[in-house]
Structure 1
């Protein structure tokens, strides 16, 4: 099972996590999106970083989309938000006090785990524009007086609905 600190953090910010059966296609083995939260297969071997990553996808969804989310997210909400979910999971890991090797474990990220750790720790933050667009953080140099930029978060979950009813 994932680290209790991760489950507590996700619960505290409003992403429910529960154990239950995981069936059907999933983006990450052993973790399903259901009813706007995350379901962990009881016998699954789950990487802590994968739990944060899937939570990042939920965090970027508009509130009504998040509440209804289940199964595989459609392309514009799933793969379309991939870099944002990665960047969100980095901010969450740092907030909890985890090493980025937890997020970018060797079994994921198509062999680019070490490169991603180096990239984020080096100050380049792929996906940050998506977090800023969603109102979750400020890019360095964009923060108003008195606010902190990424990796500090203004809020952990998107609160705005799309104006046109689409994915944004």
Structure 2
């Protein structure tokens, strides 16, 4: 739980950017609410394990209302490092439970990090400092290295194990 709280502090710092005055209004934003819900649920899952799956039934009416407001569906079983930044949460984003994602993930809006049939647990691995353009999709099982930028409306279905690449197109391929 403490780890998720410290990760949430990094998330807030990243949302604020250079303008620390944003703290006055950011706490009502969709991205803030969605990331906060993920961090709370993830912390409770790490604390209580499989029992959280049963216990969350009690809180589900509140969670579903807040999920509907935030337009973010980040599964509590997804393992995401500190520094989540969602730029346009009103477009909606989905992150699968089968994801393992490094620090400083940037979601532009309309993004899906999902699993195809037969994708194993932890089958979607995304490195540090990756960003997804508007409506970009990652369909696992897939492994992506560090500093990967995925262009708008691209669909990643293959591994990219080289750092510092830009992927575009359907299916996504690196720019040469």
TM-score (norm 2): 0.29
TM-score (norm 1): 0.30
With a CA cutoff of 8 Å and minimum separation of 6, indicate the structure with the bigger relative contact order.
1
Bigger radius of gyration among the two: 2
Which structure has more strand as a fraction of its residues? 2
